Amino acid sequence: MALPSPAASLSLGRFPSLPEDRPLLSEFLLAAPMLLFALVAHEVAHGWTALRQGDDTAFKLGRITLNPLPHIDPVMTILLPAVLWFMTNGQFTFGGARPVPVVTRNFRHYVRGDLIVSSAGVVTNLILAAGCTLLFVLAGVFHAASGDLGTQGIITTQRMLNWGIYLNLLLAFFNLIPIPPLDGSRLFYHVLPPKWGTSYRSMDRFGFLPLMVLLFFFRPLLDLLLAPAWWLYARLLDLAVPFAAGPGWNIFG
């Protein structure tokens, strides 16, 4: 039976209120492309590593591509994030892409293959967060070297890259939460005794219900689980901000 990959393309964010002088629509237009690319890259990573481990299901379905169209779910990728963003004045959004199908029995080595494929999306998003940080720095270096050429364009670019850092970190650490069907549950499964692991994975039948309960009724616990994302975000900003072209880089300021 073809199983979906861990529902790895989930991302959420609960943001401080956006500045009054920054319209919601313009901020959404900066954040949305970064979120979409983060989701697509996450899924491609699952499909590509599954192919390397012996499962060509995603490859045959044309899902190992950075073209976003095969990965977009009209409701989860477009409608839901936009509606939540505008309904909450930019303080909360949640969304996902179509999970890449993975047939784990095709792996040459089941446990190793499952661990590699399940962790691939998280690793990819961490790499993208680091890449956005590097591009932020390079944009600032170019700005300084060119005699402050195109200041407003550089500031907008750095603000967009800041969204990229933030959203990729949230996506990575949210998916490490060990609740089925997130990536973390696939990793945690392999440290459990076989009987416990079977019962644990049976939680998949509840779909996203356990996640909804966590999101809406256990926010302090969620904040604790995402604390590493906030910490790493602050550390990457420590590296990037000295190269900012102006104060507009701050998505929360």
Active site (catalytic) residues = 43
- For strands 101-102 and 92-95, give the pairing: unpaired
Beta bridge mates, 3: 102
If DSSP codes are grouped into helix, strand and coil, which group holds residue 93?
strand
- Contact call for residues 173 and 223 (beta carbons, < 8 A): no
CB-hemisphere CA count at 13 Å for 130? 6
CA distance 232 to 253: 19
- Contact call for residues 87 and 94 (beta carbons, < 8 A): no
- Contact call for residues 44 and 206 (beta carbons, < 8 A): no
Rounded alpha-carbon distances, angstroms, from residue 207 to 62, 80, 215:
25, 17, 14
